[in-house]
Structure 1
Amino acid sequence: MPSPNDNRLGDYLRNRRTKLDPASFGFSGRRRTAGLRREEVAQRANISATWYTWLEQGRGGNASADVLDRIAKALMLTEVEREHLFLIGLGRPPEVRYRGNDAITPRLQRLLDAMAYSPAIVRTAAWDVVAWNRAAAAVLTDYGALPPEKRNVLRMIFCDPRVRAAQFDWDSVARFVVSAFRADATRAGAAAEVQPLVDELCRSSPEFATMWRDNEVQTHGDGVKRLHHPVLGPITMEYSAFAVDGRPDLQMIVYNPATAADLEQVRSLIGRVAAIAAE
């Protein structure tokens, strides 16, 4: 068990700087130890060499978030390494920096595709659907047939009559979507990035504008979704939301048919869609 005198921050900083190649940063000269010198890290971070030395020695007190962020950049830390630095230096993670990258990994797409009869999507903090599986295309929406700007869940809920008609209780669904969207955007640090979408929807949908002004927030979590499917008729699915590790801007939503009858309906529909595609 660590003792109160352990200098976790200093140990981590020292370890990280010894992993760096001085030549790649333009530093030269003979060295007794590997990596960057303390004054070189301080120079790259634009802080006092004395202050940085004290941090490594555990004598500098608590560094500010700004100082830790500059040190993270100086040491070329990855996002997970930067988060670890903040946790041991300040006892909390850094503020989220919105990445705005819609790309997903091939591995995540393979995970979606492995769920043959469970519709699954990946959406951004702006609720743009950026990945989906065959079951989602058959049961929810054929996202591939839409231009990217039309694959936004809020635009579909508030501006697409077909999607609106598919909801058993549109008002409850819409309020849930707005409140969860607000929470997701804030959590991902994307409030400024989603503002144009909010302004657009406030202009095009008085209902959205009213719900947005209510300032309600809630998590997506899990629950039950009921749909009036145009082919299957009434269908019920249980859904769960999952965070994508290392991507606070993405969530994966998986819908599982709630009963054996619902599963058989989904299985039948996917089979019909596949048969039509093969013709």
Structure 2
Amino acid sequence: MAASRTDLGDFLRRCRAGLTPEAVGLDDGGPAKRRVRGLRREEVAQLAGVSVDYYTRLEQGRHASPSEAVLEALARVFRLEPAARAHLADLARPARHKAAQPPAQRVRPAMQQLIASMSEHPALILGRRTDVLAANTLARELFTDWTRMPPRERNYARWMFLDPAAAELFLDWRTVAGEVVGTLRLYAGRHPDDVRLNELVGELTIKSAEFSAWWNGHQVHERTHGVKRVAHPAVGPMTLRYEALPLPGDANQVLFIYHTDPGSSSHDNLALLAMLCGGASSPRGGRVQLDSSSRRTEPPAPYQGA
């Protein structure tokens, strides 16, 4: 379910349907003459400089692997953003032998200590397929305590779609959740043989109508930075900015750090939330590795930041 030759055709059809003739300088022929949504196949072929038969075979999954020049031409015609261009290239790669499943991801102890020390900023590390690998105390108070979940359920996308509290927390839930789907789509194109991803997508498709519709929409999203608006039940509304920082040594581990504008009510509310966390009765400083195997790197201790 992650990525296949049919995904390339689906992606091209979605791109074609989302582009109007006017946008590319073509005459639409009037409403009575146009029976398809967006561009026709022959129009895409003409703009990309390929034959109609060749482009048709691409959409139908009957062509082995288009050249880089063809992919560049299609990306230009469809006006794809960098993330979508990369996704198109991933989907067009020749079929590969099924790869062995990668080992469980683990966060370096020094990185665990670093995010645990960020007492004023929520911080978490997401891995493959948005698995939650680590989160400091403030992030768990802001979002949810993933340590209370079974190891295989510690996943940001799963929480976003299957926990009603997530929809209540994010004021722009549809935007945030849609971006999560786009992130999974981007990952699926790069790692089509990820069994755990197939399982996750299958579960979310069955249990969430929104996820199913957005997944079939083939939109992609690359996490870099952004803004999220939340309504926290303990301290009230906050506008949070975040930076997504890929970690050296593992391209599939991304550190997310959240902050607020100084002097804003959001800054005051986040400071209040941090104070509430600091007043908790549980001892500070313990570390527990959050990975798919749920093995502890230290003797059992209250989870604080990893």
Range class of TM-score, shorter chain: 0.5 to 0.7
Once residues 206 and 147 of structure 1 are traced to their aligned partners in structure 2, the CA distance between those partners, rounded to angstroms, is 24
Name the aligned partner's letter for residue 259 of structure 2.
Answer: N
Whether 2:238 is the aligned partner of 1:218: answer no
Q: Which residues of 2 match residues 91-110 of structure 1 at below 5 A?
A: 99-110=102-113
Q: Would the aligned equivalents of 2:242 and 2:258 in 1 still touch at CA under 8 Å?
A: yes
Q: Would the aligned equivalents of 2:126 and 2:132 in 1 still touch at CA under 8 Å?
A: yes
Whether 2:273 is the aligned partner of 1:262: answer no
Match of 1:136 among 130, 135, 139: 139
Note closer, same or farther for the CA distance 1:97–1:224 as it changes in structure 2 (3 Å cut).
farther
Post-superposition CA distance 1:112-170 (Å, at most 9, x none):
12222111111112111010112112222222233323321111111111111111122
Whether 2:275 is the aligned partner of 1:271: answer yes
1:179 deviates by 0.3
Q: Which residue of 2 aligns with 1:146?
A: 149
Q: Which residue of 2 aligns with 1:79?
A: none
Note closer, same or farther for the CA distance 1:259–1:148 as it changes in structure 2 (3 Å cut).
farther
Match of 1:165 among 163, 168, 172: 168
- For residue 168 of structure 1, give the secondary structure of its aligned residue in structure 2: coil
Name the aligned partner's letter for residue 240 of structure 1.
Answer: E
TM-score normalised by length of structure 2: 0.55
Note closer, same or farther for the CA distance 1:189–1:255 as it changes in structure 2 (3 Å cut).
farther
TM-score normalised by length of structure 1: 0.61
Decide which structure has greater helix share: 1
Once residues 187 and 111 of structure 1 are traced to their aligned partners in structure 2, the CA distance between those partners, rounded to angstroms, is 29
Post-superposition CA distance 1:180-218 (Å, at most 9, x none):
122134346664441111011111112111110011112
Note closer, same or farther for the CA distance 1:189–1:247 as it changes in structure 2 (3 Å cut).
farther
Post-superposition CA distance 1:36-75 (Å, at most 9, x none):
xxxxxxxxxxxxxxxxxxxxxxxxxxxxxxxxxxxxxxxx
Once residues 210 and 162 of structure 2 are traced to their aligned partners in structure 1, the CA distance between those partners, rounded to angstroms, is 11
**Which of the two has higher C-alpha Rg?**
1
Q: Which residue of 1 aligns with 2:247?
A: 244
Q: CA RMSD in A?
A: 2.2
- For residue 280 of structure 2, give the secondary structure of its aligned residue in structure 1: helix
Q: Would the aligned equivalents of 1:97 and 1:188 in 2 still touch at CA under 8 Å?
A: no
Structure 2 residue ranges without an equivalent (≥5): 1-98, 284-306
Once residues 253 and 200 of structure 1 are traced to their aligned partners in structure 2, the CA distance between those partners, rounded to angstroms, is 25
1:256 deviates by 1.0
Note closer, same or farther for the CA distance 1:191–1:99 as it changes in structure 2 (3 Å cut).
closer
Match of 2:181 among 147, 159, 178: 178
Whether 2:117 is the aligned partner of 1:114: answer yes
